[in-house]
């Protein structure tokens, strides 16, 4: 069971976890142990509230397929349990990130003083650059 927030939890049947062999160069047990975790979470079939589902499906994330399935591959750790915890933590982060509402941007004008300072700085820079030029005799 995965707790998303105080009122929202995901049941175990909603998250599909498969153990696979990790990528990369190996060691002594490279062909024997499947330590990486492949997590699949179907957004449409889940018990999440509709607002969560809509926001998740609208997200532009490479981990979410066109069918609405979140796919996460966790292989940073050496043990299967740590990779499983990492995959579930990353799934929770994806779901919570979908619910963050962006603050509306309001266009503003620069103040009169800041405009004056900018022009003065430009003039100063121009003067110092003109002093660098060759002197005509």
Q: What is the pLDDT of residues 73-123, one digit of tens each?
A: 998 888 899 999 999 999 999 999 888 888 999 999 999 999 999 999 999
Q: What are phi and psi of 64, to 5 degrees?
A: -105, 120
Q: What are phi and psi of 26, to 5 degrees?
A: -105, -170
> In 3-state terms, what secondary structure has residue 121?
helix
Angle subtended at Cα 99 by Cα 96 and Cα 45, rounded to the nearest 5 degrees: 75
pTM of the predicted model over 0.85: no
The CATH class that applies to domain 2-98 reads: alpha beta
How much is the CA Rg of the chain, to the nearest whole Å?
Answer: 27
């Amino acid at each position: 069971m995965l707790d998303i927030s105080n009122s929202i939890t995901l049941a175990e049947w909603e998250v599909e976890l498969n153990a696979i062999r990790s990528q990369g160069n190996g060691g002594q047990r490279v062909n024997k142990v499947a330590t990486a975790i492949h997590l699949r979470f179907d957004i449409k079939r889940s018990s999440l509230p509709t607002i969560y589902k809509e926001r998740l499906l609208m997200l532009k994330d490479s981990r979410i397929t066109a069918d609405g399935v979140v796919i996460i591959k966790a292989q940073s750790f050496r043990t299967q349990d740590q990779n499983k915890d990492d995959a579930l933590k990353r799934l929770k982060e994806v779901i919570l990130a979908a619910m963050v509402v962006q603050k509306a941007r309001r266009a503003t004008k620069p103040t009169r003083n800041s405009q004056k300072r900018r022009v003065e700085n430009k003039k100063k820079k121009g003067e110092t650059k003109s002093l660098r030029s060759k002197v005509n005799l």
